[in-house]
Every structure is written in C-alpha cells, then in structure tokens.
Structure 1
Amino acid sequence: MTIALEHPVLHSTAIALPARFQASYTTRLVAVGVDKRPSDFWLETAGTPQAGDVVIARVTAINNHKRVETPESRKAILFEGVLVMLAYGHRYAADQFLAHVPEDLGPCHLVAAGGIAGTVTALHDRVDEPTEIEPLGLLTNARGTVNVRDFAAFDNPLKVEAPNKRAQVIAVLGTSMNSGKSTTLACLVNGLAAAGQKVAAGKITGTGAGNDRMIYHDAGAHSVIDFTDFGYPTTFKLNFAEIRALSVNMINVLADSGADTVIVEIADGIYQGETSRLLRDQVFQEAVDHVVFSAVDALGAKAGVQELQAAGLHVAAASGVMTASPLATAEAAAVLEVPVVPTFDLTNPEIVTAVLTDHA
C-alpha cells in the first residue's frame, strides 16, 4: 500500500505527512487508518521511540534488505531516497541481526523486511551490513505518538487461564531459526485439512513478516493470524506476562473461528529466552496438546525432544529440515522414541492423523 497525501505544516516540531510513502507489513493496520482519515495524522520530529511506535523514514543506503514487504505481502524493491512507514522494534535473529529500539530519532536501520526499524548491535558473519534509514518523524495524532497497538485487530488482556478444550492444539517448535518450522506447520495444516478438518493457524512469536501467514493460508488453513494482529511488530523483549497472554489469547481467537485443530508456531529455537520460559509455563502447557518438533539434524532433534519432554510437553513427532536427508532421518529415527516424519509426508491425511492419535 503506497499512500499519497497532502497536509499543511502544523507547528515547530511537527511536519506534514509526505505526499507519498510505502507502508509495510507490520504497519498495515495503521496504514488503513491513515488512509481513511489522513487529516488526523502528522509527524513529530522530536521524541523517544518505543517498541511499536510508527515512524516514516527515508532509505539512505541499501545493503542487506533490498526490499520491504508491503501490507499485501508483496516484496517492494527499495530505492535510495524512498520513504517507508515502519514500526520500531527489537529483533532477535541468530542467522541475521540482533537489534534494539534506539534512544532517539537519529539514523538507524531497517532490521527486517516486514518493516522493523531499529539499531543493529550484532550481525551474522555471512550477512551484509543493514540497510540504513533516516527517520523523518514519529506518526502522531491527537492522542499522541501512534503505536501499532492502537490499531490492533485483537486485544491482549494479561489475565489469562488455559482455554477450555474446544479444539486440538498443536505447537510447532524447532532447534533454531530456519529449522523448517513454518513448512512443517503448513504441511500439518494441509494434511489435516485433507482429512476433513477445519484447521486454524497462527504465529505466536517472532518478527513481523507476511510470508509465514501466507504459507499457512496456501496450505488450506481457514483462519490465519499472527502476533502483529495483536499490535506487536516483534515479540523479542516483551515481558513474560504479555508472551503468556498472547499465546493463550491467540489460541482462543483461532479456536473461536470454528477450528477442529489449532496449530501455532513459536519462533527461533527452544533456547531463545522467551521461548525457553514459555515452554515451561503451566498455562501454556495446559493449552497445548501436542508438539511437533523441527530440527536441522539428528543431534539437534534428540536434544530438542528431550528438552521438551523434560519440560513436560508431549512431543508427537520430529520433522523439519533434517528430513530432507534420508541419512539424517535414519539417524534421528535410531535415537528418538517419537516418530520421525519427513515434512511433506505430513500432507498425507492418513500419516498426519496417525501421528497425532496413535502417539497421544
């Protein structure tokens, strides 16, 4: 969504919204509000950004991220000088960046293609330097600085209890980023939908991006949401009460869609801070019936499954990137007491149904 607007200059630290800028995936709900009532918004050039605050910034040097994801999940090509609407956020991505919300509106970085602004403090050796941006100002209306939480589709009340069991709930976790979690979840969706179930899918934690929810939708999920629908551009560094509540509230929303099965993805690896604590939380454990674990290799699969079982979770199967290798699959099958199922075999309704019933 590219928004073209015209506004007068308002006062000393306020400037009009630029005539044209590109909204991003994480700011898509805000962009709808701006498009409906553009005269209600302006930019403030002074202030201290907080996680979720919306900023319009100019791209000044294109490096690692050469595209930004639009509200429709199209990857828009970036050019130097283009203006983009982003959300400030922290990022934890072992294969890319560690980034944090800066303390001022000075130059910083585009730290995720989904539309996250932050300051990179560490990066993987194989990743290019981050794309550089220059904030013009914080999006503002009569109520103050606009945060993506102001336009959330769903609330996240912190007082939660484990949901009543209206639907089977499966959590997909993994050894790390890029262990095959999203593909595993999509294959579970596809197989269960082929078995005649209504399947709802969601991503509880991570960094805002539309590609995961699109693959869930393409696989056959009848309802798909993620944490950005609750007003979070990322979940890194959220306090644990919010993480717990987000998990249960997302499961409830998906179950209320009429689903027979709800499948949720937890980002990164099981040693990531928020994930490690969440999988040991009693409320989360009571909300989840099964875990399907994605791993890169047999050693990771064995360690991860043991960690989850020790935490008190029921692991129904191991899958993921390792199952692309027959040798790694055989190694894992030899040392695990749970089934090792090649990812795309989960699209077979008989196989996926057996995995989730015979090993309950």
Structure 2
Amino acid sequence: MAVIAESLPVQSTAARSEVQEHIDAARARAIRAAYTTRFVAAELQRNPQDFQIVRRAQVVPAPGDVVIATVTELGKHSRLQSPVSRRQLMFVGQEIMVAYGHRYAPDQFLAHVPDDLGPCQLVAGGGVASEVIEQHASIDKATQLEPVGLLTRHGKVVNLSDFAPLDINNESPQAAQLGQVRPPVIAVLGTSMNSGKSTTLGCLVNGLVNGGLKVAAGKATGTGAGNDPNLFTDAGAFSVCDFTDFGYPTTYRLDYETVRSLLVAMIREQSATGADAVVIEIADGLFQGETSRLLADPIFAEHVDRVLFSAQDALGAQAGERILLEAGLDLAAVSGVVTASPLAAQEAQSQLSTPVIGTFDLCQAEVAASLLPAK
C-alpha cells in the first residue's frame, strides 16, 4: 500500500516501496524550475493540486522525465537557468525541478541517465539531471543532486513531451498546410562545441533581418539551454524554437529516426511561420554521432539548401570543407572562431575554395544576402 506524506525526508524512504508527496501552492512557488521544464512549470504554478512527487523503489527514469531534486553540493553549475533563462543562483538545500537527460559535451561532461533515483548530477545549467561518466580535466566536478522523486500528474510520471507545444508526430495546422513550397533553409554546423556556431547563426540572422527579411531560426540538436534561442531572438528572428519545444531535454542518444524526424519537423514548423528564410543550428561537431548521420542522410540535403560552417582554426576549416563537400552539400562560407584572428583567417582562406567570412561581417545585409541560395 502506498504511504502518503506531506513532507517526508528522503532518507526515510529507502525501505518503502513508494512514497508520495503532495504539492501545495507554497511549495510549487518555492521549487526552482529550469529552462528545460518551463512548460511543465507553467502548469504546475497554475494547478499545483494536480501534481505529486513520487519515489518508487527500483524505478528507472527515462530521458525527459521531470524530477524534483535537492541541491546537496555546488560544483560546475552554481546557477540554474530559469524558465525565461535567467541564471538563478542555487543554494544547498533548495529544491529544483529539472529533467533527466543524456549529455554529450567534449568541453564539459559525458553523462547518461541513471538507472535509479539515487544521487545524480546537474550536467547542464539549462536543467539536465544525469550521471557523469567522464568530464573534461579543466572543469570542476558537477553539482550534486539528491532526487526527492519524480513529478507525477494524475498518477502518471510527467515527461517534458507531455506539455511541449510541438510534436514531431503531429504537425501544427500551419505546417500541415505548408505543402512542398518552403523558404530557403540554411544550416549552421561547426568543427566542435564552442566553434562559434550560435554566434555565426545569430549574426547571419541579423544580417538577413537588416536586409528586410523575416527570419525564423531554430536549434535542432544539442543540450537544452535558453542562451542560443535568446541570442537568435536578440538578433532579430521573429520565430525561434529548439528541440525542447518538441519535448526533448537533449538529443544525445535519441534513436536516429527521432533525430531525423525532429530536424524535418523543425524546418517545416519554422517554414510555416511566414518566414522569408529559415536558419537552423546543428550542435557539436561533424564527428558527433547524430550530426554525422544527418549529413550522410539524403533527407538533410532535401530539406537544407545551403550550409554555413564555423571552425576554430584553419586545419578544422579545411577538414570541415572536405567533409561537407564530399557529402554533396552546398557550402556557402566558413566563419566562426577562426575569423577572430586575421592571421588564422588568412591561413584558412589560403587552403580553402570556400570564402572565409568574419562572423560579425555577417551582420551586413549584403553579406548575409549573398549566402542565400540562388532562386
């Protein structure tokens, strides 16, 4: 029989098969929600009486499952991105609402969803709970979490997909009416994490907007965080979405068919907004699993007209150009971190047939317009 408790210490639940905790309005307000959980958080604030926190013995959480956890030790991430992406300072002992998810970040953590509700880590400031497998030598260990339990609603574990506004299997009415006609689509890829992809995309959006175009932008793969969508909005995109809008905290270790469908669905949804151009970011580097498979898939070239590539250095730029051209893609230009150094940009240009364009030069209307596919 389930044991009902208003507020039961986590330590005392170990020997019980199930513990449920009701959430009143005061507790709902006190729980610090993360960016990844923003749609769930909105419903929790409206109707806290519909939700409970449940801890069951031997439960195996799934990616996207929402967990209420107590911060037990601060580490790499001392701030949690709020639903509006404000970096809210965390304190030991606070309850936070995050989502379980896998993470692939060569500069930070490799992390997998644990197989129980035992102690875990905050592996992304956008709100991803996971178990660290490996980490970069230069960073602090991850912030430690003690799960209180999974968030449930009407007896069912809440998953991000339950409240996501978009669905890869169910197009919006606008997208369903799109047909085969769509605006030009440019994808931004890079050599690796922190190669300048998001800034490159933001500057391209800004340049196209400066030229009088309505631009929609999206981030199709990666780890849930509000930084990049906010950057795209600040650059002038009138419609912005990312994979969290489809209910995924991250895209790492998603089955490939889901990743493939997510890319297509995002392009269709953004194309249906009335945009004159759509710009989509593909996270991480060309060798990352999902990215590599997407590039080799004919559906990528079917839905993406041109590619803009961000590189960290000349050698990476040369390798990226070769890979993208061999994949049969229309490479418009190379940009990114490499262009912060005039010498590095010159080195790259001497080895490339593709033009190298400074990241912030993309903000110029004529430069951005030159990267659009020919009609």
Which category of TM-score, normalised to the shorter sequence, fits these structures? over 0.9
The CA distance in 2 between the partners of 1:255 and 1:277, in whole Å, is 23
Corresponding residue for residue 322 of structure 1: 338
Corresponding residue for residue 250 of structure 1: 266
| 1:41 corresponds to 2:64 | no
Match of 2:21 among 11, 15, 19: 15
| 1:239 corresponds to 2:255 | yes
1:166-245 to 2 correspondences below 5 Å: 166-245=182-261
Alpha-carbon deviation of 1:12?
A: 4.9
Does structure 2 conserve the Cα–Cα contact (< 8 Å) formed by 1:172 and 1:181? Answer: yes
The CA distance in 2 between the partners of 1:352 and 1:65, in whole Å, is 36
Alpha-carbon deviation of 1:283?
A: 1.2
Does structure 1 conserve the Cα–Cα contact (< 8 Å) formed by 2:67 and 2:150? Answer: yes
SS for the counterpart of 1:268 is strand
Corresponding residue for residue 62 of structure 1: 74
Corresponding residue for residue 13 of structure 2: none
Q: CA RMSD in A?
A: 2.0
TM-score (norm 1): 0.94
The CA distance in 1 between the partners of 2:339 and 2:181, in whole Å, is 32
The CA distance in 2 between the partners of 1:109 and 1:128, in whole Å, is 12
Alpha-carbon deviation of 1:355?
A: 3.2
Question: How many residue pairs were aligned?
Answer: 353
Of the structure 1 ranges 204-213 and 32-41, higher mean CA displacement relative to structure 2 is found in 32-41
SS for the counterpart of 2:322 is helix
The CA distance in 1 between the partners of 2:326 and 2:373, in whole Å, is 21
| 1:119 corresponds to 2:131 | yes
Does structure 2 conserve the Cα–Cα contact (< 8 Å) formed by 1:200 and 1:262? Answer: yes
TM-score (norm 2): 0.91
Alpha-carbon deviation of 1:165?
A: 3.7
Corresponding residue for residue 311 of structure 2: 295
Alpha-carbon deviation of 1:205?
A: 0.3
**Percent identity over paired residues:** 54
Does structure 2 conserve the Cα–Cα contact (< 8 Å) formed by 1:329 and 1:340? Answer: yes
| 1:350 corresponds to 2:360 | no
Alpha-carbon deviation of 1:158?
A: 8.7
Relative to structure 1, is the Cα distance of residues 316 and 106 closer, same or farther in structure 2, using a 3 angstrom cutoff?
same
Alpha-carbon deviation of 1:8?
A: 4.6
The CA distance in 2 between the partners of 1:334 and 1:163, in whole Å, is 43
Corresponding residue for residue 4 of structure 1: none
Alpha-carbon deviation of 1:14?
A: 0.9
The CA distance in 1 between the partners of 2:147 and 2:192, in whole Å, is 32
Alpha-carbon deviation of 1:66?
A: 0.6
Corresponding residue for residue 91 of structure 1: 103
| 1:104 corresponds to 2:116 | yes
Which digits, 9 at most, give the CA deviation of each residue in 1:48-94, with x for residues without a partner? 11000000000000011110000011000011111100000000000
Runs of 5+ in structure 2 lacking a partner?
Answer: 9-16
